[in-house]
Structure 1
Amino acid sequence: MKSYSQNRFPVGCTGYGTTGPIYTESQQQGLRDRSPNLDVLRALAVGFVVVSHLLIEHSYTSIGGYHTQSLGTLGVYIFFVHTCLVLMQSLERQCHTYGNRPIALGFFVARAFRIYPMSIVIVVLVASVEWTFSDTPPSLFAFLSNVFLIQNLTGSPSVTPVLWSLPYELQMYLFLPALFTVASSGRAWRRIVALWCASVALVLLLRRFGLGFDLIRFFPCFLSGVLAYCLRNTPRTRPPFLLFAYVGAVAAIFPLLVEMRLSATVLSWVICPMLAMIIPKCREVKSRWLQRCGDTIARYSYGIYLVHVPRACQIFYVERGHEIILRGLFYDRCNDHEKAQEAESRIPIPVELIIVDPPFETATTG
């Protein structure tokens, strides 16, 4: 029997109808198995983002040289790597499901229905409150830019801070079927490494000449996820502790380096490829409680990501007579933050919000 890496997909079984690898039924089943490691990794990523915003909410922007906002940025970098990896696996499953039919259009439609419904609800909700209560509400142009998640193209501010990363992710989806074709060919990891180097060189070149590179600055992070997919057949000889120890070490060191004025973007070019090379080498975590926690948090991570920011208190309100005081739906638009905090301390009204949404993208969904 051929080895796992020697088989081939039937012709037309990649995003644009080219030839790629195919696997036996038992090997395909292995690819579809739940990955507790990826669930825990995604849970850690969303946890970093939430903790970062909670610290910022309480004015802890720096703790002993620890740049707290960068912890959230690290969480987004992990999201980029994780999402590209599991979407490549999703494209592979679609190939097995639909045979030699093109899958790119279906992939784009599926991703749009996964991302847009909840983001639109959040944008409409936040913008409606701002139009009602804020002295500086978003313009119609900014509102529509947020609805379509193209703020990075129009230069409009995000109506809630966490939306900044979604445009980059959506735009990267346009390249994934083509990258899947490349990743399904022989010696794929070498081609992906070459693309990674080219993207880094392009960013540096554009930066050197003072040209805009915002649209491609995160390509190396996304390509790291594709690299992890190319290395999926690596023997899993390392304990899962290695993966989580690496993430923990980076979470401790990365904000310190950013506080020392090192470029977060440049640091991501080291952090993300290292993560991509570690993920395939590690065996799955065996702890049942850790598996359950990772699965639950990863399943609702998109809802957590979108809803938590307007910072724990965006969803909380205080009644003062007949007036409802909403505490700054934007970090940069809150004009009366101290008064709102004082009011809430006098009349605390906790509001619990449970968001039930489909999984954003876990290792078991596509």
Structure 2
Amino acid sequence: MAATESHRDLVVTVIPALDGLRALAAGLVVLTHAAFLTGFGATGGLVGRLWSRGDFGVAIFFALSGFLLHRGLVAADVQGRLDGFGYAVKRAARILPAYWMVLAVVAAGATPPLRDVVIHAFALQIYWPDAWIGAFGQSWSIATEIAFYVALPLAVLALRLLRRRHPNAPLPVLCVMAAALTATSGIGGDAVVGQDIFYDRWLHSRAPHFLIGMICAETLLAPEHRVTQVLTRWGGDVVACLAVAAGAYLLATTPIAGGLDLSPGTATDVVVRTALSGVVALGLLLPLTHGGASGYRAALSHHTVRYLGVISYGLFLWHVPVFIGLYAVSGVREFTGALLPLLTLGVPVSLGLAAATHRWVEVPSSRLAGRFLARRRHRQSDGREHEHSDAPLNR
């Protein structure tokens, strides 16, 4: 997709490879949890460290959300069609039904305290120090994502005011924000599991990843801007982008980025990981949003890879409960190995549940939301026509 598309194209243009990138991110998240639960991250040498750093997949998810949602909202705003209520309904329908369904299954199987279930149901678990459900621990990122959903329309409105006065200002402002929030992402570090709040999971700490996607989307409205030209030049060099992303990922497996367990580490660790994961996300995203045809784009656009991306939300929700359930049924203790059986059984089961959830929960809920919003638009249109017909004629 060329960076010179009009803002109208921002809404209708589909980039198939982004589904494939979502599949890649989900795969990384699955690997990191498999490495953690089996102890492979600590015993598997370089491969184990690489798997353990698969938590960078979350940064990729966030960058994708930043790009796709900001692109749509800004285009609607520029065209005077920004509908905050419709946006909220679509986001809720996309995320919550599947989330609540898996949470209900986890609550029935793991029987956590009702308090923790309620906190998770409202996606507030990152704001409590001890609201932890082990079989649903990966769900923290949904709480962060929802915080971004709430903040994004406000950001778009703020950028509208800025754009009217200084049309070229939004891009550098977003870039400065990304840099500043990366530097401050470690605020509240050194948290102790079960005792302290993990502030590194709050939006202020993860915002740089969303901002990476937002910056990529914003450049499509300013094809002549210097930032756009730089990103377009970088995105056109696929090999360099992937090499930089791979280098940042590999560097993150060393002590420079702190430990490879689930603890946030020191404030410095958080800042380093935020920066490196941002580089990884940008390096993987940029060739798809600003580059041309490539083997990388073709691989991620393959129909099988795309389908895995389409059902990746369900895979994200289901894989940890499935992994924990397999340990419980087998009697094998966690952190004692069994990597191959866990992946051999757990991944197909998780994929099957993800496919079923997509077909029977995600798609119907999104369609229901679409029909509701269509009826709402129809009623509003009828109301405007009625007001117009009742208006006195100008003489």
Q: What is the TM-score of this pair, normalised by structure 1? A: 0.70
- 1:221 equivalenced with 2:202 (yes/no): no
1:23-74 Cα shifts (integer Å, max 9, x gaps): 85xx623652221332232221111111222233432023325535642311
User: Would the alpha carbon gap of residues 205 and 263 (structure 1) be closer, same or farther in structure 2, given more than 3 Å must change?
Assistant: closer
1:90-129 equivalences under 5 Å are 90-95=72-77, 100-129=80-109
Match of 2:45 among 50, 53, 64: 64
Equivalent residue, structure 2, for 1:85: 67
Distance 1:30 1:260 in 2: 39
1:169-207 Cα shifts (integer Å, max 9, x gaps): 111111111222355522211111232244345545666
User: Would the alpha carbon gap of residues 64 and 249 (structure 1) be closer, same or farther in structure 2, given more than 3 Å must change?
Assistant: same
User: Would the alpha carbon gap of residues 32 and 266 (structure 1) be closer, same or farther in structure 2, given more than 3 Å must change?
Assistant: same
Equivalent residue, structure 2, for 1:307: 318
Contact 1:31 1:89 in 2 (8 A): yes
SS at 2:356's partner residue?
coil
1:218-239 Cα shifts (integer Å, max 9, x gaps): 1222222212222234464514
Contact 1:77 1:272 in 2 (8 A): yes
Distance 2:318 2:184 in 1: 35
Distance 1:116 1:284 in 2: 35
Which stretch shifts more, 180-189 or 293-302? 180-189
Query: What is the identity, as a one-letter code, of the residue corresponding to 1:32?
Result: V
SS at 1:149's partner residue?
coil
Query: What is the identity, as a one-letter code, of the residue corresponding to 1:110?
Result: K
- 1:294 equivalenced with 2:298 (yes/no): no
Distance 1:163 1:295 in 2: 23
Equivalent residue, structure 1, for 2:329: 326
Contact 1:52 1:69 in 2 (8 A): yes
Distance 2:211 2:61 in 1: 12
1:240 Cα deviation (Å)?
4.0
Distance 1:221 1:113 in 2: 23
1:89-138 Cα shifts (integer Å, max 9, x gaps): 22145447xx535522221222111111111111110110122xxxxxx1
Which stretch shifts more, 231-240 or 181-190? 231-240
Equivalent residue, structure 2, for 1:180: 156
User: Would the alpha carbon gap of residues 204 and 288 (structure 1) be closer, same or farther in structure 2, given more than 3 Å must change?
Assistant: closer
Contact 1:42 1:79 in 2 (8 A): yes
1:306-349 Cα shifts (integer Å, max 9, x gaps): 111225463x58xxxxxxx6369xxxxx9x559997xx99xx99
Contact 2:245 2:279 in 1 (8 A): no
1 or 2, which has the higher helix percentage? 2
Equivalent residue, structure 2, for 1:145: 119
- 1:130 equivalenced with 2:87 (yes/no): no
User: Would the alpha carbon gap of residues 257 and 139 (structure 1) be closer, same or farther in structure 2, given more than 3 Å must change?
Assistant: same
1:289 Cα deviation (Å)?
5.6
Query: What is the identity, as a one-letter code, of the residue corresponding to 1:281?
Result: H
1:150 Cα deviation (Å)?
0.6
Distance 2:97 2:171 in 1: 35
- 1:231 equivalenced with 2:243 (yes/no): no
Query: What is the identity, as a one-letter code, of the residue corresponding to 1:53?
Result: H
Question: Any stretches of 5+ residues in structure 2 without a counterpart?
Answer: 191-195, 260-267, 371-395
Equivalent residue, structure 1, for 2:264: none
Query: What is the identity, as a one-letter code, of the residue corresponding to 1:59?
Result: G
- 1:157 equivalenced with 2:132 (yes/no): yes
1:288 Cα deviation (Å)?
5.2
Contact 2:248 2:279 in 1 (8 A): no
User: Would the alpha carbon gap of residues 356 and 246 (structure 1) be closer, same or farther in structure 2, given more than 3 Å must change?
Assistant: farther
Q: Percent identity?
A: 21
User: Would the alpha carbon gap of residues 34 and 257 (structure 1) be closer, same or farther in structure 2, given more than 3 Å must change?
Assistant: farther
Backbone CA RMSD of aligned residues: 4.0
Paired residues, number: 313
Contact 1:120 1:147 in 2 (8 A): yes
- 1:282 equivalenced with 2:295 (yes/no): no
Distance 2:186 2:324 in 1: 39
Which stretch shifts more, 53-62 or 277-286? 277-286
- 1:355 equivalenced with 2:356 (yes/no): yes
Question: Any stretches of 5+ residues in structure 1 without a counterpart?
Answer: 6-22, 132-137, 318-324, 329-333
